[in-house]
Each structure stands twice: as structure tokens, then as C-alpha cells.
Amino acid sequence: MLELTNLHKTFAAGTPNEKKALKGLSLSLDAGDFVTVIGSNGAGKSTMFNAIAGTFITDEGKIVIDGEDMTFKPDTYRAKCIGRIFQDPMKGSAPSLSIEQNLAIPYSSTKKGIFHRAISKKDREYFREVLSKLDMGLEDRMNVPIGTLSGGQRQAVTLLMATILTPKILLLDEHTAALDPLTAEKVLAITKEIVETKKITTLMITHNIASAIELGNRTILLDDGKIVLDLKGDERKNLTVDSLLKMYREVKGKNFDNDRMLLS
């Protein structure tokens, strides 16, 4: 479903601020994989997501999504098959538009012709149905500007927006990090539910080791622009927070002490 081959990206090349963010990163995902991504700050997790989403074109390497070579495609083209959610709940929706209008933007974008009505009666019923599944009472507030919702509610709606047309790849960039623990748990549960029912190939960055182990079927650890640990199947089944940290320690060696604080 997703093939990343030997990706390289250097920022500010040739200046004193040169930063090699990706150093030959390769990753292959099967359809329906739910991969949790961990790693310390600056390991290249978000850079990897940006590379996949097309925020920049990589210096080297190849990106293939569902058999289609996306290496040189612009971000707006790739967005047709990629859903992406950021840490900041404010980033994923238009605050002065209503909930239903926000949902209609991705949902109606595949309809034929540019002058079709944005929201039909049928659409509205469908939106009501998907919103009611969130169990947040939003289905009765569909005309409310989304800027008046709380961060958790907004993030949940953003999740719906990203998945309302089933994307081939879903990128979750610490999408619960800005939420309080209870809301974060709820949004994670909704994420799990949607990803499992729609069988979306998903990559989720998290700093919460426990949820990295609990969610999904595969865990990768990024360090210094490369994937240094790739756990799946039996190896992952018996994983605990401590054993994962131990593995990380072995990989990182003496730099670990700094990272322990960031990870746990």
C-alpha cells in the first residue's frame, strides 16, 4: 500500500544550519496496517509524514502509494488519497464554517462538476449519522460554527473529515497530544473504531509508549532519520513498555538518558 524507498531530505543544505532530517529511510506497509511511530524529538517522524504528504519533495528516494509513484506529485494531488491530522486541533477545520460545511468540503469534493450544491439533504442525513457515532451530541449542532467547539470535539470532527471519504493512507501526527487525558482516550477510541471498520492503512505518531504498544499491529522506532526498530507479529505481541524501552536503550546506547525523559 505504501512503499518508501531510501528517502533522503536535508534542510538548509550547505549552510551552518544544515540538518539531515531523513537519512535513507525505507518502509513498506501492507493494506490495512496500523503502525504506531515512536522516536525522540528531531528523529524525523514529522519529516517522514511531510515527505509522504508531499509538503516538500524529497532529495532522494521513491514514494509509492497503492502502486502509484507519488515521488514528484504535489501535496494537493496526494491529499486525494491521504488523510492527515495534526497535533493542533485548530489546524484541521475552518472555524467560521459550520460542522456540516466542514464535513462537506472533503465529502463533496469528488462529486462531478464544480457548480453542484455543497450540501444536499442526503448528505446532511449522512453527516448526522456519522456525527452521532462520535457520541458527543454534535449531530444536533451541525449548523454551529466549528470554532465554538472544544479542542477534543474539533479533533474528533477533523478525524471524521479526514476519513469521510476512505483515504488510502491516514497520517496521525500526535493528534491527541494537545488534549486532556480523558478526551485523548476518547479520541483514540474513535480513531481505533474508524480505522478498524474502514480498514485504513494508518501511521500514527505518538509519545505515549503505552498506546504505541496497545494500538495497531506494528510499531516502528525512528532515530536520526532512519527506522531503527520495526516490531510486528509475535515479537510485538509480548511487548511491554519496559521491554520496548530496553530495546530502545540498546539501539541508542549512551544517548538514552536524555531520550528516556522524552519518551516516558
Question: Which residues from 140-169 bind other proteins, rule CB under 8 A?
Answer: 161-162
Q: Dig out the grid coordinates for 16 from the structure.
A: 551552518
Q: Dig out the grid coordinates for 138 from the structure.
A: 454534535
Report the residue number, 72 or 77, with the smaller CB distance to other proteins.
77
**Cβ at position 165, least distance to other proteins in Å:** 9
Report the residue number, 137 or 147, with the smaller CB distance to other proteins.
147
Report the residue number, 95 or 137, with the smaller CB distance to other proteins.
95
**Cβ at position 159, least distance to other proteins in Å:** 13
Give backbone dihedrals phi and psi of 56, rounded to 5 degrees, phi first. Answer: -140, 165
Residues shown for the chain: 264
Is residue 207 a contact point for other proteins (CB under 8 A)?
no
Alpha-carbon gap, residue 67 to 169, rounded angstroms: 13
Q: What x-and-dash track marks residues 77-116 binding other proteins by CB under 8 A?
A: xxxx---x------xxxxxxx---xx-xxx-xx-x--xxx
# chain residues binding other proteins, by CB under 8 A:
29
Identify the sign of the CA torsion 25, 37, 91, 177. negative
Alpha-carbon gap, residue 39 to 4, rounded angstroms: 18
Alpha-carbon gap, residue 176 to 191, rounded angstroms: 10
CB-based burial of residue 32 (10 Å sphere; 0-12 exposed, 13-18 middle, 19+ buried)? middle
Residue with cell 515512536: 38
Is residue 260 a contact point for other proteins (CB under 8 A)?
no
Report the residue number, 54 or 225, with the smaller CB distance to other proteins.
54
Alpha-carbon gap, residue 41 to 157, rounded angstroms: 27
Report the residue number, 111 or 199, with the smaller CB distance to other proteins.
111
**Cβ at position 244, least distance to other proteins in Å:** 31
Is residue 238 a contact point for other proteins (CB under 8 A)?
no
Q: Which stretch binds other proteins (CB under 8 A): 34-42, 62-70, 74-82, 208-216?
A: 74-82
Question: Looking at residue 254, what DSSP letter applies?
Answer: G
Binding residues (CB under 8 A) for other proteins: these are 75-80, 84, 91-97, 101-102, 104-106, 108-109, 111, 114-118, 161-162
